[in-house]
């Protein structure tokens, strides 16, 4: 089975794999937002029956995977590999979450872009014939992220207006060659883009250059115009990052203002939920894709979508050593069929 590379950074599948099912599990604040009615599961306490936030995040992943499998009546033994990731050190939420499923695991880290990375690798593996079914799953949790990257919640520090609110949620997807209404026709693998920014409370500004780079490269590689996509959807640039993205795209001679959407701006109500710049986290793009974007593609409301999760590649170590915060973004081309 021969697959074709496209341009500098892309792959267009000669036989496109399909997203066969998806599931979304979300927390209380997410359930109170504009997309609340679309999520499969919402937990009112954000602990999902566990005693710690980390265990809760793992349980979210397990629940999302189980729901996605159940929707198409597949047992975990039918899945060749899982591609999964989260924001925590050593990917503990993923390892704890999928352990009981006993599916071979590739643990990933692309920060908030991990859902794009996971979907790309799952699609490539299926298209190459390495298995009939692959899974992609990612998660994030407000409590674990604040504890990992910023301050203890009890510290009650004031958040700047450029700060994001980490989404408590997990999205899971089953990818295979069996026909469905959503196919992945290609991917654009992002590269690290670093504009030298060091503000860990302004993730949108750190990620926007990578999003612009991947979107422009996707259009060039596939020979598309901006308007060839019904939506160009970034992961979690938020309100600050979106304006920077538009400026950077204009400098490249491209205008995506009319068909751009950002998951971090969509998942929360900025006016009533006090989320400042918007949502973020590995779960942000994943649950928005599973609960909101895919149904629109399935119904044919959107015929072609470029899904571009965005990630800020920092850690507490790099931040404390004064390093800048580079970004990365991966593009997934989704089509209705």
Give Cα separations from 21 to 5, 59, 84, 152, 170 (angstroms).
Answer: 26, 19, 16, 36, 14
> CB-hemisphere CA count at 13 Å for 267?
40
Give the number of C-alpha atoms closer than 13 A to the C-alpha of residue 182, restricted to the C-beta side: 26
Do residues 264 and 169 make contact, with C-beta atoms less than 8 angstroms apart? no
Helix (H) or strand (E) holding 216: helix 203-222
Tens place of pLDDT per residue across the chain (337 aa): 455 778 899 999 999 999 999 999 999 999 999 999 999 999 998 999 999 989 999 999 999 999 999 999 999 999 999 999 998 888 888 999 999 999 999 999 999 999 999 999 999 999 999 999 999 999 999 888 777 666 555 545 566 566 767 899 999 999 999 999 999 999 999 999 999 988 777 888 999 999 999 999 999 999 999 999 999 999 999 999 999 999 999 999 999 999 999 999 999 998 899 887 788 899 999 999 999 999 999 999 999 999 999 999 988 788 778 899 999 999 999 999 9
Determine the Cα angle at 234 with ends 281 and 237, to 5°.
Answer: 60
Q: Residue 251's CB: how many other CB atoms inside 10 A?
A: 10
Angle of helix 238-251 versus helix 203-222 axis, rounded to 10: 40
CATH 3.40.47.40 fits 182-336, yes or no: yes
In 3D, which of 290, 301, 329, 312 has the Cα closest to residue 231? 301
Q: Distance between the two ends of the chain, CA-based, in angstroms?
A: 21
From residue 166, give the alpha-carbon distance in Å to each of 45, 163, 198, 220, 277. 16, 10, 19, 32, 11
Give the DSSP H or E segment for 264: helix 263-266
The structure's pTM equals: 0.94
| Region(s) of the chain under CATH 3.40.47.40 | 4-176, 182-336
Q: 231 pairs with which residues across the strands?
A: 305
**CATH class entry, domain 4-176:** alpha beta
């Amino acid at each position: 089975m021969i697959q074709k590379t496209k341009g500098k950074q892309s792959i267009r599948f000669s036989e496109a794999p399909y997203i066969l099912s998806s599931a979304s599990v979300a927390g209380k604040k997410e359930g109170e937002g504009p997309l609340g009615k679309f999520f499969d599961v919402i937990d009112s306490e954000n602990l999902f029956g566990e005693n710690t936030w980390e265990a809760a995040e793992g349980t979210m992943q397990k629940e999302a995977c189980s729901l996605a499998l159940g929707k198409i009546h597949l047992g975990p033994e039918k899945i060749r590999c899982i591609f999964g990731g989260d924001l925590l050190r050593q990917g503990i939420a993923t390892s704890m979450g999928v352990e009981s499923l006993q599916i071979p695991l590739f643990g990933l880290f692309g920060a908030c872009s991990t859902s794009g990375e996971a979907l790309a690798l799952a699609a490539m593996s299926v298209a190459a014939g390495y298995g009939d079914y692959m899974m992609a799953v990612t998660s994030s949790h407000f409590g674990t992220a604040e504890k990992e990257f910023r301050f203890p919640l009890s510290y009650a520090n004031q958040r700047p207006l450029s700060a994001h609110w980490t989404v408590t949620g997990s999205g899971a997807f089953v990818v295979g060659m069996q026909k469905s209404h959503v196919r992945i026709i290609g991917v654009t693998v992002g590269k690290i883009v670093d504009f030298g920014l060091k503000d860990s409370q302004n993730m949108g500004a750190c990620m926007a250059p990578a999003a612009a780079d991947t979107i422009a490269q996707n259009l060039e590689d596939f020979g598309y115009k901006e308007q060839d996509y019904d939506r160009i959807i970034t992961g979690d640039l938020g309100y600050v990052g979106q304006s920077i993205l538009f400026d950077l795209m204009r400098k490249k001679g491209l205008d995506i203002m009319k068909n751009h959407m950002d998951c971090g701006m969509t998942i929360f109500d900025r006016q009533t939920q006090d989320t400042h710049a918007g949502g973020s986290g590995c779960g942000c793009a994943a649950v928005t894709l599973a609960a909101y974007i895919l149904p629109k593609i399935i119904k044919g409301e959107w015929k072609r979508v470029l899904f571009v999760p965005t990630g800020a590649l920092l850690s507490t170590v790099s931040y404390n050593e004064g390093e800048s915060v580079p970004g990365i973004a991966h593009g997934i081309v989704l089509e209705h069929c």
